[in-house]
Amino acid sequence: MIGATATGFVTGFALILAIGAQNAFVLRQGLLRTHVFSLCLLCATSDALLITAGVAGFGAVAEHYPSLPLIMTGGGAAFLLAYGLLRFRAAWRGDYAMTLEGRSPSLAATLATGAAFTWLNPHVYLDTLALIGAVSLQYEEAALRTAYGAGAVTASFVFFFSLGYGARLLAPFLKSERAWRWLDIGIGVVMWALAARLVADLF
């Protein structure tokens, strides 16, 4: 039981460790120190739902809807391009008065953006429904499979809350408009790079 839980934790943590659009958004929000708990809870809970579905064997759903991956990929790429453009525009304008005061969009807007990063990302379905679900097949007993899924879900909660609240450790280095401008440029580059990869997947 412990071994299955540990395997699930390591597998889940490894899949979400890479810097992605969702992680970059959580990091930025963590630096602002606003709506951090709600955003982390949203991201982790969303992952938990997808992981549970994957372990339960619903990874084959996409086979019944062959157009779904194409729709999700196109929508995800468009969203990443748009958000990346927003970050580049913010860096160009350089108006960070509200940012330096720790102010950010409303809770509803923050959660809507976080949900979009999660559910419009086709790779999240590959990671949770397909990969995590596939690894769970090695456990024939329901109890072991449940323990594996619980480990993966726990990894998601640990990661997002560590990222969101750990971001404040970088706050001392982001007390100037110049620093925030470079951060937004970096996030914009990440967003557009991920969008390019999604577009490449279409061909």
Task: Judge residue 178's burial from the number of C-beta atoms within 10 Å of its C-beta, 0-12 exposed, 13-18 middle, 19 or more buried.
Answer: exposed
Helix (H) or strand (E) holding 83: helix 68-93
DSSP conformational letter for 96: -
Q: What is the pLDDT of residue 101?
A: 67
Percent of the chain with pLDDT over 70: 83
Q: What is the pLDDT of residue 165?
A: 94
The pTM score is: 0.77
- At 79-111, the pLDDT tens digits run 888 888 988 988 888 776 666 666 777 899 999
User: Residue 26: which of 157, 163, 191, 189 has the closest Cα?
Assistant: 163
Which of these ranges, 123-127, 160-164, 193-197, has the smallest mean pLDDT?
Answer: 123-127
Helix (H) or strand (E) holding 180: helix 177-201
> What backbone torsions phi and psi does residue 20 show, to the nearest 5 degrees?
-135, 180
What is the C-alpha separation between 122 and 127, in angstroms, rounded? 9
- At 22-43, the pLDDT tens digits run 888 898 899 888 899 999 999 9
The DSSP string of 107-153 is: HHHHHHHHHHHHHT-HHHHIIIIIIIHHHHTT--SHHHHHHHHHHHH
Domain ranges of the chain: 2-201
Band (pLDDT 50/70/90 cuts) for residue 160 is very high
